[in-house]
Amino acid sequence: MNISPKYRSQDLRKGRYSIPSAYYHIIICTHQRRQILANKRVASIIFETFDWLETEKRLKWICIMIMPDHIHTIIELGEGQTLAKILHSLKRFTAREINKQLSRNGPLWQKGYTDWGIRRESTLNDTIRYCYANPVRKGLVKRAKDYPYWQCKYEMD
């Protein structure tokens, strides 16, 4: 009898640790992949929250791509911070503010998140380009520069 092990999202985090000053590509999805993020009011809350986290030296954001049902971000982790702490703060605050803005109740974010450590500059550049092209791949726009819910510290073509 061949029984595959069951994996739970919290098990994926076991044995991982956060490295200060390291770069991470993170994806955060809405609860049940609801398409509620890509509007001006919601995007503003998300961008302002990342700015606040940066002001508090908890992270430095490189780019933020807000898709209708998920966010791609690349951050540099601040000293003494962990991904779990930062994302808990981000998700908790934005959920409260976005729910208030949209006059809705209930969970906004899926539990957990997906993250990849970025070790090389070439990988960082490729990941930024991947995030930038996401709305084109999803058929939301023909040209990435036409997508309004994107911020990056670097100039894109």
Query: How does pLDDT run across 5-39, given as a tens digit for each residue?
Result: 444 444 444 545 688 889 999 999 999 999 999 99
pTM of the entire predicted model? 0.88
DSSP 35-55: ----SHHHHHHHHHHHHHHHH
Please, are residues 68 and 36 in contact by the beta-carbon 8 Å criterion? yes
Cα–Cα distance measured from residue 69 to residue 57, given in angstroms and rounded to the nearest whole number:
27
Does the pLDDT of residue 78 top 90, yes or no? yes
Assess contact for 52 and 66: CB atoms under 8 A.
no
pLDDT in tens, 105-128: 999 999 999 999 999 999 999 999
Residue 8, phi then psi, degrees to nearest 5: -110, 150
Q: Does domain 18-152 have CATH number 3.30.70.20?
A: no
Q: Where are the domains of the chain?
A: 18-152
- Going by the DSSP 8-state scheme, the letter that residue 5 receives in this structure is P
Amino acid at 152: C
Sheet harboring 150-152: ordered strands across?
114-118, 23-29, 70-77, 59-66, 150-152
CA distance 97 to 17: 29
pLDDT at 138 over 60: yes
Q: What is the pLDDT of residue 2?
A: 47
